């Protein structure tokens, strides 16, 4: 059984591009090591991430995330036990704040247990966004 969770957060004001690239590089190598897959979207102001993997690995990541001062206002959107992976690997990408603002407002209000149709919309947004 895999644990899959999604959260939204806000970037620390003044977070530099170099800090973001470092965060992405660390995440990519840790996640490969920990068998964590998913998608991280960043607008310059907001983060939206889905992560999935073995329970213990996702627990550990969630604990580190809560202590990370590069973001704040972290809200759990959903937290599910899944039989199959939703994503092959881990990817990160930029989205405009404008594109994310209105769904994020709705999802933040519905967390930590988004209804199934909203979970599907969130996954679809992450799936269709081009990443690097």
User: Which residue number, 61 or 77, has a Cβ lying nearer to ligand FMN?
Assistant: 61
Residue 4 binds to ligand FMN (criterion: CB under 6 A): no
What is 49-74 written as a DSSP string? EEEEEEHHHHHHHHHHHHT-TTEEEE
Side-chain-side CA neighbours of 36 within 13 Å: the count stands at: 26
User: Which residue number, 26 or 73, has a Cβ lying nearer to ligand FMN?
Assistant: 26
Rounded to an integer, what distance in angstroms lies between the CA atom of residue 34 and that of residue 15? Answer: 26
Binding to ligand FMN by CB under 6 A, coded x per residue (else -) over 67-96, reads -x-xx-------------------------
User: Are 5 and 75 within 8 A, CB to CB?
Assistant: no
Please list every residue from 10 through 49 that binds ligand FMN, using CB under 6 A: 23, 26-27, 30-31, 40, 47, 49
User: Which residue number, 22 or 115, has a Cβ lying nearer to ligand FMN?
Assistant: 22
């Amino acid at each position: 059984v895999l644990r899959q969770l999604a959260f939204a957060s806000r970037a620390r004001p003044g977070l530099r591009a170099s800090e973001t690239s470092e965060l992405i590089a660390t995440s990519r190598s840790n996640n490969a090591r920990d068998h964590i897959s998913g998608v991280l979207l960043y607008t310059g102001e907001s983060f939206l991430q889905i992560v999935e993997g073995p329970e213990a690995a996702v627990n550990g990541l969630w604990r580190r995330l809560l202590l990370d001062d590069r973001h704040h206002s972290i809200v759990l959107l959903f937290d599910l036990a899944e039989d199959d992976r939703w994503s092959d690997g881990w990817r990160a990408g930029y989205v405009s704040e404008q594109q994310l603002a209105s769904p994020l407002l709705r999802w933040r209000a519905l967390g930590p247990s988004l209804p199934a149709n909203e979970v599907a919309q969130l996954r679809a947004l992450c799936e269709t966004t081009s990443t690097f």
